[in-house]
Structure 1
Amino acid sequence: MARRRGWGGNPPDSDEEATRRIVDTAVDLIGQTGSAINIADVAESLGVIRQTVYRYFPSVDALMRAAAIASVDGFLDRLTQHVRGIEDPVDAMTEGVVYTLAEVRRTPHLGILLTGTYSSLHPDGITSDEAQAFGVMMINRFDVDWERYGYDDASLRELVEFLLRTMQSFFVSPGSPPRSDDELRRYLRRWIGTAIIAQKDLPASF
Protein backbone atom coordinates (compact mmCIF):
# COMPACT_ATOMS: atom_id res chain seq x y z
CA MET A 1 0.00 0.00 0.00
CA ALA A 2 1.20 3.51 -0.80
CA ARG A 3 0.94 4.69 2.75
CA ARG A 4 3.49 2.06 3.85
CA ARG A 5 6.25 2.92 1.42
CA GLY A 6 9.45 4.37 2.79
CA TRP A 7 10.04 3.72 6.49
CA GLY A 8 13.76 3.29 5.85
CA GLY A 9 13.09 0.15 3.86
CA ASN A 10 11.30 -1.51 6.76
CA PRO A 11 7.58 -0.72 6.48
CA PRO A 12 5.32 -1.50 9.46
CA ASP A 13 3.14 -4.59 9.42
CA SER A 14 0.07 -2.79 10.76
CA ASP A 15 -1.39 0.60 11.50
CA GLU A 16 -0.74 -0.03 15.18
CA GLU A 17 2.95 -0.58 14.54
CA ALA A 18 3.08 2.52 12.34
CA THR A 19 1.53 4.61 15.10
CA ARG A 20 3.94 3.24 17.69
CA ARG A 21 6.96 3.91 15.49
CA ILE A 22 5.85 7.47 14.80
CA VAL A 23 5.37 8.15 18.51
CA ASP A 24 8.67 6.49 19.44
CA THR A 25 10.45 8.59 16.83
CA ALA A 26 8.86 11.78 18.16
CA VAL A 27 9.92 10.91 21.72
CA ASP A 28 13.48 10.15 20.59
CA LEU A 29 13.77 13.38 18.61
CA ILE A 30 12.54 15.47 21.51
CA GLY A 31 15.03 13.72 23.78
CA GLN A 32 17.88 14.45 21.37
CA THR A 33 17.04 18.10 20.72
CA GLY A 34 15.53 19.10 24.04
CA SER A 35 12.98 21.16 22.16
CA ALA A 36 9.67 20.89 20.36
CA ILE A 37 9.57 19.24 16.94
CA ASN A 38 7.28 19.25 13.93
CA ILE A 39 5.73 16.71 11.56
CA ALA A 40 8.47 17.25 8.97
CA ASP A 41 11.17 16.28 11.51
CA VAL A 42 9.42 13.02 12.33
CA ALA A 43 8.71 12.19 8.68
CA GLU A 44 12.32 12.77 7.69
CA SER A 45 13.61 10.58 10.50
CA LEU A 46 11.25 7.77 9.48
CA GLY A 47 11.99 8.10 5.77
CA VAL A 48 8.39 8.90 4.86
CA ILE A 49 6.56 11.94 3.56
CA ARG A 50 4.68 14.28 5.88
CA GLN A 51 1.31 13.08 4.59
CA THR A 52 2.10 9.61 5.94
CA VAL A 53 2.52 10.98 9.46
CA TYR A 54 -0.59 13.15 9.08
CA ARG A 55 -2.56 10.03 8.18
CA TYR A 56 -2.03 8.78 11.72
CA PHE A 57 -1.79 12.11 13.53
CA PRO A 58 -3.87 14.95 12.04
CA SER A 59 -1.94 17.70 13.85
CA VAL A 60 1.28 18.43 15.69
CA ASP A 61 -0.79 18.77 18.88
CA ALA A 62 -2.07 15.20 18.49
CA LEU A 63 1.42 13.81 17.92
CA MET A 64 2.97 15.72 20.80
CA ARG A 65 0.16 14.62 23.11
CA ALA A 66 0.78 10.99 22.15
CA ALA A 67 4.50 11.48 22.77
CA ALA A 68 3.73 12.97 26.18
CA ILE A 69 1.51 10.06 27.20
CA ALA A 70 4.16 7.59 26.02
CA SER A 71 6.72 9.36 28.23
CA VAL A 72 4.61 9.60 31.38
CA ASP A 73 5.69 6.31 32.96
CA GLY A 74 9.38 7.12 32.62
CA PHE A 75 8.86 10.59 34.05
CA LEU A 76 6.82 9.30 36.98
CA ASP A 77 9.50 6.72 37.76
CA ARG A 78 12.16 9.45 37.85
CA LEU A 79 9.93 11.70 39.95
CA THR A 80 9.22 8.88 42.39
CA GLN A 81 12.93 8.32 42.87
CA HIS A 82 13.51 12.06 43.34
CA VAL A 83 10.94 12.42 46.14
CA ARG A 84 11.44 9.00 47.70
CA GLY A 85 11.40 9.12 51.49
CA ILE A 86 9.93 12.64 51.75
CA GLU A 87 6.88 12.25 53.98
CA ASP A 88 6.13 15.91 54.69
CA PRO A 89 3.50 17.09 52.18
CA VAL A 90 4.97 20.58 51.78
CA ASP A 91 8.48 19.29 51.12
CA ALA A 92 7.18 16.58 48.77
CA MET A 93 5.02 18.97 46.75
CA THR A 94 7.77 21.57 46.63
CA GLU A 95 10.26 19.06 45.25
CA GLY A 96 7.64 17.64 42.90
CA VAL A 97 6.84 21.05 41.40
CA VAL A 98 10.49 22.10 41.07
CA TYR A 99 11.39 18.77 39.45
CA THR A 100 8.41 18.85 37.09
CA LEU A 101 9.12 22.40 35.92
CA ALA A 102 12.73 21.42 35.19
CA GLU A 103 11.64 18.27 33.32
CA VAL A 104 9.17 20.19 31.18
CA ARG A 105 11.91 22.64 30.19
CA ARG A 106 14.06 19.69 29.11
CA THR A 107 11.29 17.66 27.48
CA PRO A 108 8.53 19.87 26.05
CA HIS A 109 6.26 16.92 25.23
CA LEU A 110 5.53 16.49 28.96
CA GLY A 111 4.20 20.03 29.01
CA ILE A 112 1.44 18.94 26.66
CA LEU A 113 -0.30 17.13 29.51
CA LEU A 114 -0.04 20.26 31.65
CA THR A 115 -0.86 22.97 29.11
CA GLY A 116 -3.11 21.14 26.65
CA THR A 117 -1.48 22.20 23.39
CA TYR A 118 1.83 22.16 21.57
CA SER A 119 1.83 25.43 19.66
CA SER A 120 0.79 27.74 22.51
CA LEU A 121 -0.54 27.65 26.03
CA HIS A 122 -4.22 26.83 25.96
CA PRO A 123 -6.23 28.49 28.73
CA ASP A 124 -8.28 25.37 29.41
CA GLY A 125 -5.50 22.81 29.09
CA ILE A 126 -4.46 22.97 32.70
CA THR A 127 -7.88 21.79 33.89
CA SER A 128 -8.33 19.07 31.27
CA ASP A 129 -9.05 15.52 32.37
CA GLU A 130 -5.64 14.48 31.02
CA ALA A 131 -3.82 17.11 33.06
CA GLN A 132 -5.79 16.30 36.20
CA ALA A 133 -5.19 12.56 35.84
CA PHE A 134 -1.49 13.20 35.26
CA GLY A 135 -1.30 15.33 38.41
CA VAL A 136 -3.12 12.73 40.51
CA MET A 137 -0.68 10.07 39.30
CA MET A 138 2.16 12.36 40.35
CA ILE A 139 1.07 12.92 43.94
CA ASN A 140 0.04 9.30 44.42
CA ARG A 141 3.70 8.41 43.89
CA PHE A 142 4.71 10.47 46.93
CA ASP A 143 5.49 8.86 50.31
CA VAL A 144 2.94 11.15 51.95
CA ASP A 145 0.08 9.89 54.12
CA TRP A 146 -2.44 12.28 52.60
CA GLU A 147 -5.29 11.05 54.78
CA ARG A 148 -3.29 11.98 57.88
CA TYR A 149 -3.21 15.56 56.61
CA GLY A 150 -6.97 15.69 56.03
CA TYR A 151 -7.13 14.83 52.33
CA ASP A 152 -9.70 12.65 50.63
CA ASP A 153 -9.99 11.97 46.89
CA ALA A 154 -11.94 15.16 46.19
CA SER A 155 -9.58 17.47 48.08
CA LEU A 156 -6.54 15.79 46.53
CA ARG A 157 -7.96 16.51 43.09
CA GLU A 158 -8.50 20.15 44.07
CA LEU A 159 -4.92 20.29 45.34
CA VAL A 160 -3.74 18.94 41.99
CA GLU A 161 -5.72 21.60 40.14
CA PHE A 162 -4.27 24.33 42.37
CA LEU A 163 -0.71 23.16 41.77
CA LEU A 164 -1.23 22.71 38.02
CA ARG A 165 -2.51 26.28 37.81
CA THR A 166 0.55 27.41 39.75
CA MET A 167 2.89 25.55 37.41
CA GLN A 168 1.10 27.00 34.38
CA SER A 169 1.88 30.48 35.68
CA PHE A 170 5.58 29.58 35.67
CA PHE A 171 5.27 28.22 32.13
CA VAL A 172 3.69 31.47 30.95
CA SER A 173 5.97 33.82 32.88
CA PRO A 174 8.99 32.22 34.58
CA GLY A 175 10.24 35.63 35.77
CA SER A 176 13.01 37.94 34.66
CA PRO A 177 15.40 36.63 35.62
CA PRO A 178 13.82 33.26 36.49
CA ARG A 179 14.27 32.05 40.05
CA SER A 180 16.96 29.47 40.71
CA ASP A 181 15.76 26.11 41.97
CA ASP A 182 16.63 27.02 45.56
CA GLU A 183 14.86 30.37 45.26
CA LEU A 184 11.83 28.61 43.81
CA ARG A 185 11.83 26.14 46.70
CA ARG A 186 11.76 28.96 49.25
CA TYR A 187 8.94 30.68 47.37
CA LEU A 188 6.84 27.53 47.10
CA ARG A 189 7.32 26.51 50.73
CA ARG A 190 6.31 29.95 51.96
CA TRP A 191 3.18 30.46 49.87
CA ILE A 192 1.99 27.09 48.59
CA GLY A 193 3.11 25.24 51.71
CA THR A 194 0.68 27.24 53.82
CA ALA A 195 -2.22 26.20 51.59
CA ILE A 196 -1.23 22.53 51.62
CA ILE A 197 -1.15 22.15 55.40
CA ALA A 198 -4.30 24.25 55.92
CA GLN A 199 -6.43 21.29 54.78
CA LYS A 200 -5.80 19.45 58.04
CA ASP A 201 -7.51 22.14 60.10
CA LEU A 202 -10.50 22.77 57.84
CA PRO A 203 -13.94 21.67 59.08
CA ALA A 204 -15.40 18.69 57.27
CA SER A 205 -18.17 20.83 55.78
CA PHE A 206 -15.78 23.44 54.33
Structure 2
Amino acid sequence: MTSEPTALSNLLNRGATNTSTASETTVERILDAAVAEAAAVGLDRVRMEDVVRRSNLGRTTVYRRFPSRDDLVRALVARETQRFLDAVAAGMHGVERPSDRVVEAFLAAVAFARSHPMLRRIAETSPGSVLELANNPDSEFLGTGTAFIARHLHGERPGRPSREARWVADVFARLFLTYLALPPSDPDVRNETELRTFARAVLIPMAERVAPIKPPST
Protein backbone atom coordinates (compact mmCIF):
# COMPACT_ATOMS: atom_id res chain seq x y z
CA MET A 1 0.00 0.00 0.00
CA THR A 2 1.34 3.45 -0.94
CA SER A 3 2.02 5.69 2.02
CA GLU A 4 0.28 9.07 2.20
CA PRO A 5 3.54 11.11 2.01
CA THR A 6 4.68 9.14 -1.05
CA ALA A 7 1.32 9.53 -2.76
CA LEU A 8 1.33 13.25 -2.05
CA SER A 9 4.89 13.53 -3.36
CA ASN A 10 3.95 11.73 -6.58
CA LEU A 11 0.94 13.98 -7.03
CA LEU A 12 3.04 17.11 -6.57
CA ASN A 13 5.67 15.80 -8.97
CA ARG A 14 3.02 15.11 -11.60
CA GLY A 15 1.67 18.59 -11.09
CA ALA A 16 5.10 20.11 -11.56
CA THR A 17 5.66 18.06 -14.71
CA ASN A 18 2.31 19.07 -16.15
CA THR A 19 3.02 22.72 -15.40
CA SER A 20 6.43 22.49 -17.05
CA THR A 21 4.94 20.78 -20.09
CA ALA A 22 2.22 23.42 -20.35
CA SER A 23 4.84 26.18 -20.13
CA GLU A 24 6.96 24.55 -22.85
CA THR A 25 3.89 24.18 -25.05
CA THR A 26 3.12 27.87 -24.61
CA VAL A 27 6.67 28.82 -25.58
CA GLU A 28 6.48 26.60 -28.67
CA ARG A 29 3.16 28.20 -29.61
CA ILE A 30 4.66 31.67 -29.33
CA LEU A 31 7.72 30.70 -31.38
CA ASP A 32 5.53 29.06 -34.02
CA ALA A 33 3.59 32.32 -34.26
CA ALA A 34 6.87 34.22 -34.60
CA VAL A 35 7.98 31.94 -37.45
CA ALA A 36 4.68 32.51 -39.24
CA GLU A 37 4.97 36.27 -38.75
CA ALA A 38 8.58 36.28 -39.98
CA ALA A 39 7.50 34.31 -43.04
CA ALA A 40 4.81 36.91 -43.73
CA VAL A 41 6.69 40.16 -43.15
CA GLY A 42 10.37 39.27 -42.72
CA LEU A 43 12.36 38.64 -39.55
CA ASP A 44 13.51 42.26 -39.26
CA ARG A 45 9.90 43.49 -39.25
CA VAL A 46 8.48 41.10 -36.66
CA ARG A 47 6.69 43.00 -33.88
CA MET A 48 5.71 41.64 -30.50
CA GLU A 49 2.08 42.73 -30.83
CA ASP A 50 1.72 40.86 -34.13
CA VAL A 51 3.16 37.71 -32.57
CA VAL A 52 0.70 38.06 -29.69
CA ARG A 53 -2.14 38.29 -32.21
CA ARG A 54 -0.98 35.26 -34.19
CA SER A 55 -0.45 33.14 -31.10
CA ASN A 56 -4.01 33.77 -29.81
CA LEU A 57 -2.52 34.09 -26.35
CA GLY A 58 -2.82 36.90 -23.89
CA ARG A 59 -0.37 39.77 -24.10
CA THR A 60 0.74 39.14 -20.52
CA THR A 61 1.36 35.45 -21.28
CA VAL A 62 3.62 36.26 -24.23
CA TYR A 63 5.54 39.02 -22.47
CA ARG A 64 6.05 36.82 -19.41
CA ARG A 65 7.99 34.36 -21.58
CA PHE A 66 9.66 36.96 -23.79
CA PRO A 67 9.94 40.39 -22.15
CA SER A 68 11.35 42.02 -25.30
CA ARG A 69 11.52 41.54 -29.05
CA ASP A 70 15.24 40.77 -28.76
CA ASP A 71 14.47 37.94 -26.35
CA LEU A 72 11.91 36.54 -28.75
CA VAL A 73 14.15 36.74 -31.82
CA ARG A 74 17.07 35.20 -29.93
CA ALA A 75 14.92 32.24 -28.82
CA LEU A 76 13.44 31.90 -32.29
CA VAL A 77 16.83 31.78 -34.00
CA ALA A 78 18.16 29.32 -31.41
CA ARG A 79 15.23 26.95 -31.90
CA GLU A 80 15.28 27.08 -35.69
CA THR A 81 19.06 26.65 -35.74
CA GLN A 82 18.71 23.50 -33.64
CA ARG A 83 15.98 22.22 -35.95
CA PHE A 84 18.25 22.85 -38.90
CA LEU A 85 21.13 20.96 -37.31
CA ASP A 86 18.80 18.10 -36.40
CA ALA A 87 17.68 17.89 -40.02
CA VAL A 88 21.28 17.80 -41.25
CA ALA A 89 22.18 15.11 -38.69
CA ALA A 90 19.15 13.09 -39.78
CA GLY A 91 20.31 13.36 -43.39
CA MET A 92 23.66 11.82 -42.44
CA HIS A 93 22.18 9.16 -40.18
CA GLY A 94 22.93 5.63 -41.33
CA VAL A 95 25.21 6.76 -44.17
CA GLU A 96 28.42 4.75 -43.91
CA ARG A 97 30.82 6.27 -46.43
CA PRO A 98 32.38 9.55 -45.24
CA SER A 99 32.10 11.12 -48.69
CA ASP A 100 28.41 10.25 -48.87
CA ARG A 101 27.84 11.88 -45.47
CA VAL A 102 29.18 15.18 -46.83
CA VAL A 103 26.81 14.97 -49.78
CA GLU A 104 23.76 14.02 -47.71
CA ALA A 105 24.46 16.75 -45.15
CA PHE A 106 24.59 19.37 -47.89
CA LEU A 107 21.38 18.10 -49.50
CA ALA A 108 19.59 18.04 -46.15
CA ALA A 109 20.71 21.61 -45.42
CA VAL A 110 19.43 22.92 -48.74
CA ALA A 111 16.17 20.98 -48.45
CA PHE A 112 15.54 22.36 -44.96
CA ALA A 113 16.14 25.93 -46.08
CA ARG A 114 13.88 25.56 -49.12
CA SER A 115 11.03 24.11 -47.04
CA HIS A 116 11.32 26.48 -44.08
CA PRO A 117 8.83 29.37 -44.48
CA MET A 118 11.00 31.99 -42.78
CA LEU A 119 14.22 31.02 -44.56
CA ARG A 120 12.40 30.75 -47.88
CA ARG A 121 11.12 34.30 -47.52
CA ILE A 122 14.60 35.56 -46.68
CA ALA A 123 15.97 33.97 -49.84
CA GLU A 124 13.15 35.35 -52.00
CA THR A 125 12.65 38.87 -50.64
CA SER A 126 15.41 40.00 -48.27
CA PRO A 127 18.73 38.21 -48.81
CA GLY A 128 20.54 40.87 -46.80
CA SER A 129 18.80 39.54 -43.68
CA VAL A 130 20.94 36.41 -43.90
CA LEU A 131 24.07 38.45 -43.35
CA GLU A 132 22.44 40.32 -40.47
CA LEU A 133 21.46 37.00 -38.94
CA ALA A 134 24.95 35.57 -39.35
CA ASN A 135 26.61 38.66 -37.90
CA ASN A 136 24.26 38.98 -34.94
CA PRO A 137 26.44 38.21 -31.87
CA ASP A 138 23.38 37.26 -29.82
CA SER A 139 22.15 34.56 -32.21
CA GLU A 140 25.45 32.63 -32.60
CA PHE A 141 23.91 31.32 -35.81
CA LEU A 142 27.15 31.09 -37.76
CA GLY A 143 29.26 29.93 -34.82
CA THR A 144 26.85 27.15 -33.88
CA GLY A 145 26.72 25.85 -37.44
CA THR A 146 30.49 26.01 -37.85
CA ALA A 147 31.10 24.13 -34.59
CA PHE A 148 28.60 21.44 -35.61
CA ILE A 149 30.32 20.89 -38.96
CA ALA A 150 33.80 20.90 -37.40
CA ARG A 151 32.78 18.16 -34.93
CA HIS A 152 31.58 15.95 -37.76
CA LEU A 153 34.71 16.60 -39.80
CA HIS A 154 36.87 15.76 -36.78
CA GLY A 155 35.04 12.51 -36.14
CA GLU A 156 35.78 10.40 -33.07
CA ARG A 157 39.41 11.36 -32.74
CA PRO A 158 40.40 12.74 -29.33
CA GLY A 159 40.84 16.45 -28.76
CA ARG A 160 39.23 19.39 -30.44
CA PRO A 161 38.96 19.80 -34.22
CA SER A 162 42.15 20.97 -35.86
CA ARG A 163 42.53 24.52 -37.10
CA GLU A 164 42.26 23.27 -40.67
CA ALA A 165 39.04 21.41 -39.84
CA ARG A 166 37.63 24.60 -38.33
CA TRP A 167 38.58 26.52 -41.45
CA VAL A 168 36.83 24.02 -43.69
CA ALA A 169 33.78 24.02 -41.42
CA ASP A 170 33.64 27.82 -41.53
CA VAL A 171 33.81 27.76 -45.34
CA PHE A 172 30.98 25.21 -45.49
CA ALA A 173 28.80 27.29 -43.13
CA ARG A 174 29.43 30.51 -45.05
CA LEU A 175 28.84 28.75 -48.36
CA PHE A 176 25.46 27.56 -47.15
CA LEU A 177 24.51 31.09 -46.04
CA THR A 178 25.55 32.45 -49.42
CA TYR A 179 23.48 29.81 -51.20
CA LEU A 180 20.55 30.70 -48.96
CA ALA A 181 20.82 34.44 -49.57
CA LEU A 182 21.86 34.32 -53.24
CA PRO A 183 20.89 30.95 -54.76
CA PRO A 184 23.02 30.19 -57.83
CA SER A 185 21.61 29.29 -61.21
CA ASP A 186 24.30 26.61 -61.58
CA PRO A 187 23.92 24.30 -59.77
CA ASP A 188 20.16 24.64 -59.64
CA VAL A 189 19.26 24.37 -55.93
CA ARG A 190 15.92 22.83 -56.95
CA ASN A 191 17.65 19.96 -58.74
CA GLU A 192 18.94 17.22 -56.41
CA THR A 193 21.05 15.62 -59.13
CA GLU A 194 22.89 18.87 -59.79
CA LEU A 195 23.38 19.46 -56.08
CA ARG A 196 24.86 15.99 -55.66
CA THR A 197 27.24 16.60 -58.55
CA PHE A 198 28.31 19.92 -57.01
CA ALA A 199 28.83 18.39 -53.57
CA ARG A 200 30.95 15.57 -54.94
CA ALA A 201 33.07 17.86 -57.09
CA VAL A 202 33.59 20.73 -54.65
CA LEU A 203 32.76 19.78 -51.05
CA ILE A 204 34.19 16.27 -50.81
CA PRO A 205 37.76 17.25 -51.81
CA MET A 206 37.75 19.98 -49.14
CA ALA A 207 36.38 17.64 -46.49
CA GLU A 208 38.81 14.84 -47.33
CA ARG A 209 41.71 17.08 -46.31
CA VAL A 210 40.56 16.78 -42.71
CA ALA A 211 39.19 13.20 -42.85
CA PRO A 212 38.09 10.90 -41.31
CA ILE A 213 34.58 12.30 -41.46
CA LYS A 214 32.66 10.43 -38.80
CA PRO A 215 29.83 11.67 -36.58
CA PRO A 216 30.91 12.26 -32.97
CA SER A 217 29.85 9.77 -30.32
CA THR A 218 26.76 10.75 -28.35
- Give distance in 2, aligned partners of 1:29 and 1:127: 22
SS in 2 for 1:120: helix
Q: Indicate which of 158, 172, 180 corresponds to 2:167.
A: 158
| Residue identity opposite 2:104 in structure 1 | E
**Higher radius of gyration, 1 or 2:** 2
* Alpha-carbon shift at residue 31 of structure 1 (Å): 6.6
- Give distance in 1, aligned partners of 2:76 and 2:133: 20
Change (3 A) 1:96 1:121: same
| Residue identity opposite 1:192 in structure 2 | L
Change (3 A) 1:71 1:165: closer
| Residue identity opposite 1:25 in structure 2 | R
Number of the residue aligned with 1:66: 75
- Identity of paired residues, percent? 18
Number of the residue aligned with 1:103: 112
- Give distance in 2, aligned partners of 1:190 and 1:53: 49
Number of the residue aligned with 2:131: 122
Q: Indicate which of 27, 31, 54 corresponds to 1:27.
A: 31
SS in 2 for 1:158: helix
Change (3 A) 1:104 1:30: farther
| Residue identity opposite 1:182 in structure 2 | T
* Alpha-carbon shift at residue 126 of structure 1 (Å): 6.2
TM-score for both structures, normalised by structure 1:
0.60
The 5-angstrom pairing of residues 32-51 of structure 1 reads: 35=39, 38-39=46-47, 40-44=49-53, 45-49=55-59
Does the aligned pair in 1 maintain the 2:127–2:181 contact within 8 Å? Answer: no
Unaligned runs of 5+ residues in structure 1 are 1-12, 112-116, 201-206
2:67 aligned with 1:56, yes or no? yes
Number of the residue aligned with 2:198: 187
* Alpha-carbon shift at residue 103 of structure 1 (Å): 1.1
Number of aligned pairs? 172
Does the aligned pair in 1 maintain the 2:154–2:162 contact within 8 Å? Answer: no
* Alpha-carbon shift at residue 139 of structure 1 (Å): 5.7
| Residue identity opposite 1:196 in structure 2 | A
| Residue identity opposite 1:120 in structure 2 | S
| Residue identity opposite 1:104 in structure 2 | A
TM-score for both structures, normalised by structure 2:
0.58
Does the aligned pair in 2 maintain the 1:98–1:184 contact within 8 Å? Answer: yes
2:201 aligned with 1:197, yes or no? no
Does the aligned pair in 2 maintain the 1:136–1:157 contact within 8 Å? Answer: yes
2:103 aligned with 1:94, yes or no? yes
- 1:72-92 deviation digits (Å, cap 9, x = unpaired): 444444433321122433321
- Give distance in 1, aligned partners of 2:96 and 2:134: 30
| Residue identity opposite 1:68 in structure 2 | V
Structure 1 vs Structure 2 CA RMSD: 4.2
SS in 1 for 2:183: coil
SS in 2 for 1:186: helix
